[in-house]
């Protein structure tokens, strides 16, 4: 699985967009980009995933660069409840569909 690099922490004002970057320069053609988040002490929660096209759901948007070497998770209107650790994971299908969690980005949303 490709390695990912994320900033250890970010701050965002409530109501503003939170843009969380992820670098995955060694990504392979069949690897998807997944984003999960973990609110303090809870189990991780799936947010969104994509292969090469940009994706949007009710929680967030995922922007993947054309060369697929990096991506950005966008929370369009961050709230205090979005304060969490956000994990970017790159994975292909198969092999038990295992996910490798790094240390992620601690997003703190403030008033």
Partner 1 sequence: NAGVTQTPKFRVLKTGQSMTLLCAQDMNHEYMYWYRQDPGMGLRLIHYSVGEGTTAKGEVPDGYNVSRLKKQNFLLGLESAAPSQTSVYFCASSFLGVGKNIQYFGAGTRLSVL
Q: Percentage helix, strand, coil, to 5, in the chain?
A: 5, 45, 50
Residue 100 in contact with partner 1, rule: CB under 8 A:
yes
Nearest residue to 18 (alpha-carbon basis) of 92, 81, 95, 73 = 73
Binding mask 67-96 for partner 1 (x = CB under 8 A): --------------------x-x-x-x--x
Residue 53 in contact with partner 1, rule: CB under 8 A:
no
Residue 54 in contact with partner 1, rule: CB under 8 A:
no
User: How far apart are alpha carbons 35 and 21 in whole angstroms?
Assistant: 11
Residue 45 in contact with partner 1, rule: CB under 8 A:
yes
């Amino acid at each position: 699985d490709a390695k990912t690099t994320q900033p250890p922490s970010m701050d965002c004002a409530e109501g503003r967009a939170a843009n969380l970057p992820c670098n995955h320069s060694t990504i392979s053609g069949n690897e998807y980009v997944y984003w999960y988040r973990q609110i303090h002490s809870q189990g991780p929660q799936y947010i969104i995933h994509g292969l090469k096209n940009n994706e949007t759901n009710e929680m967030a948007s995922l922007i993947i660069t054309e060369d697929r070497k990096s991506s950005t998770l966008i929370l369009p209107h961050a709230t205090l409840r979005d304060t969490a650790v956000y994990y970017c994971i790159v994975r292909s299908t198969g092999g038990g569909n295992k996910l490798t969690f790094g240390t992620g980005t601690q997003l703190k949303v403030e008033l």
